[in-house]
Amino acid sequence: MFNSTFRRGFVLLASVSLALSSCGRTPAASGPPLSALAAAGEPVINELYYDSPSTDVGTFIELKGPAGASLSGYTLAAFDTAGTQYRTITLSGTIPASGYFVVAQDTTVASRTLVNAGADLNNGSGSLRLQKSSTIIDAVAYGTPSSNKGEGTPAATTGAGSALARVPDGSDTNANSVDFKVQVSTPGAANGGGTGGGGGTTGKKVLFDLTKAEDAGNADWRIDGAYSDYANALRALGYTVSSVTGTSITSTSLSGASVLVIPEPQNPFSDAERAAIQSFVQNGGGLFMITDHRVSDRNNSGWDSPEVFDGWDGSTPSSVSSAYQASLNSDVLFGLNASFNSSFSDPVLTATPLTTHPILSGVSSAGVYVGTSVDVLSGTALMGTGGKTYLAVNSVGTGRVAMWGDSSTFEDNTLSDGSTGTYNNWPNLSNAAMGKNIVRWLARDL
Q: Is 301 exposed, middle or buried (0-12, 13-18, 19+ CB in 10 A)?
A: middle
In a domain, 196, yes or no: no
pLDDT tens per residue, range 122-152: 988 999 999 998 899 999 999 889 999 999 9
Confidence of residue 202 (pLDDT cuts 50, 70, 90): low
Distance CA 52, CA 125 (A): 15
Same domain (yes/no): 105, 250: no
Same domain (yes/no): 178, 235: no
Distance CA 432, CA 424 (A): 6
Beta-ladder partners of 350: 367
In a domain, 325, yes or no: yes
pLDDT above 90 for 240: no
Same domain (yes/no): 149, 57: yes
Counting residues of the chain whose pLDDT is more than 70, the rounded percentage is: 78
* Nearest by Cα to 136 from 147, 145, 148, 128: 128
Same domain (yes/no): 424, 287: yes
Same domain (yes/no): 170, 220: no
- pLDDT on residue 415: 38
Distance CA 356, CA 221 (A): 29
In a domain, 399, yes or no: yes
For the ranges 164-168, 260-264, 338-342, 343-347, the lowest mean pLDDT is seen at: 343-347
- In b/e form, how buried is each residue of 223-239, taking b as 16+ CB within 10 angstroms? beebbbbbbbbbbbbbb
Number of structural domains the chain divides into: 2
Same domain (yes/no): 256, 371: yes
- pLDDT on residue 285: 96
Query: Alpha carbon 424 to chain centroid distance?
Result: 8
Same domain (yes/no): 211, 177: no
Question: Can you give the CATH number for the domain in which 221 is found?
Answer: 3.40.50.880
pLDDT above 50 for 197: no
In a domain, 289, yes or no: yes
Q: What is the DSSP letter of 281?
A: H
Residue bearing the bigger pLDDT, 340 or 308: 308
Quote the pTM value. 0.58
In a domain, 298, yes or no: yes
> Using alpha carbons only, how large is the chain's radius of gyration in Å?
24
Residue bearing the bigger pLDDT, 360 or 20: 360
Residue 417, domain extent: 205-442
User: 3-state class of 147 per DSSP?
Assistant: coil
- pLDDT on residue 340: 67
Q: Choose the final residue of a domain: 123, 150, 183.
A: 183
Which amino acid is located at 242 in the chain? Answer: S
Same domain (yes/no): 145, 248: no
- pLDDT on residue 177: 87
Question: Can you give the CATH number for the domain in which 49 is found?
Answer: 2.60.40
Same domain (yes/no): 291, 334: yes
In a domain, 5, yes or no: no
pLDDT above 70 for 157: yes
pLDDT above 70 for 414: no
Q: What is the 3-state secondary structure (H, E, C) of 312-324?
A: CCCCCCCCCCCCC
Residue bearing the bigger pLDDT, 165 or 52: 165
